[in-house]
Amino acid sequence: MEYWEKIEQNKTPSTSRVLDGFINKIDSQSRVVEIGCGYGRILDQCIPKGCFVYGIDINKNEIDVLKLKYKDYENVVLEENDIADINFKPKVTYKFDYVFINGLLGALNLEQRTIALKNILKLIHTGSVIHLSEFLLFEENLEMKDRYLKDLAETEEYGTFLVYNKEGEIVYQTHNFSENEIQDLISEDFKIIKKELLDFKSYSGKIKPGIILLLQTRNK
């Protein structure tokens, strides 16, 4: 997570796709939260609808820019916060109709992913829809498989790898999931109501496999 906290303003990688037509379901009465909102790629599409929008990110640089951009909007709350903190407490008390977690789980380690998903339960009601979008393992590509193996010693998890800029500096660490892995991760608390396998464009502009899941909480 430390890499993501240090990324400069308007530089947070944000390339995981949004399901076609999904944002069209949001109306002025909706309550929307994006967790890991970065520079606001998704929030920027929701805010003009007049709905209540809550954006959370661990990166203070990005939150400060968004606060300045939307300082005159009464329907927008932006907060530097960590959904993977076991003591996570949201700034608002609302329950949200739509939750975006695009690329969030891939930015976390295994323990943090479990905590984050538990914390999401604090933000939703039984009818809420969670939009989850993540890159999948790309073992068919020998270059990617080599990166998974090469970075394993440092990341300690197969599928997690380091991303570098042109100067050879580490920009961030991310994880590519197998389908079974991501479904096992969410299965305890969430049910899948829609699944799409799509091509995503990576930070470097390469086409890679991805998955979008629409989730709802399990009634227990």
How far is residue 127's CA from residue 113's CA, in Å, rounded to a whole number? 22
* Close Cβ partners of 40 (under 8 Å, ≥ 6 residues apart): 55, 62, 66, 69
How far is residue 176's CA from residue 138's CA, in Å, rounded to a whole number? 8
Residue pLDDT, tens place only, 4-26: 455 555 455 556 899 999 999 99
- 201 versus 22: the higher-pLDDT residue is 22
- 220 versus 100: the higher-pLDDT residue is 100
**Taking the domains of the chain in order of start, what are their residue ranges?**
2-137+177-217
pLDDT at 7: 53
pTM > 0.75 = yes
Across all residues in the chain, what is the average pLDDT?
90
Q: CATH top-level class for 2-137+177-217? A: alpha beta
Residue pLDDT, tens place only, 158-190: 999 998 878 888 878 899 999 999 999 999 999
Q: Is it the case that residue 146 has pLDDT exceeding 50?
A: yes
pLDDT at 56: 95
Q: What is the mean pLDDT of residues 20-36?
A: 95
Query: Which of 220, 10, 4 minimizes the C-alpha distance to 112?
Result: 4
Q: Is it the case that residue 88 has pLDDT exceeding 60?
A: yes
Q: What element of type H or E holds 34? A: strand 31-35
Q: What is the mean pLDDT of residues 116-124?
A: 96
Q: What element of type H or E holds 167? A: none
pLDDT at 163: 83
